[in-house]
Amino acid sequence: MEYTVNTFNLGSSVVSVWPKKLNIPANVSVKIKVSGGFVTAIAKPKSQTQIAKNIALIQKLAGGMKQSSNMTPDEMNTAYDKEVYG
């Protein structure tokens, strides 16, 4: 079976969106192995500690950024990186 995974930039990261048909649950880490032109993805559940840290970071970011809505995507990425990473 073949699926298409879409990607987009978020700050300095590249985010991928996986098809729901793959049944990969939320809050997992996906280990990617590349070998001989093949890509293998292995989903591993995150620990409750890591999930709590991620939620805390998202809550901090959601309430902390005060940016103009007139920014281009590149300007928003730059502002995000500056706000998050200094």
Q: What is the 3-state secondary structure (H, E, C) of 7-30?
A: EEEECCEEEEECCHHHCCCCCEEE
Q: Domain-by-domain residue ranges, the chain?
A: 6-85
**pLDDT tens, 6-65?**
888 988 888 888 888 888 877 778 888 899 888 888 887 777 777 777 777 777 776 655
Give dist(CA 22, CA 80) in Å, integer: 30
What burial class does residue 47 get, using C-beta atoms within 10 Å of its C-beta: 0-12 exposed, 13-18 middle, 19+ buried?
exposed
Which pLDDT score, from 0 to 100, does residue 73 have? 78
Give dist(CA 19, CA 2) in Å, integer: 11
Q: What is the pTM for the complete model shown?
A: 0.39
Res. 67: pLDDT tops 70: no
Identity of residue 8: F
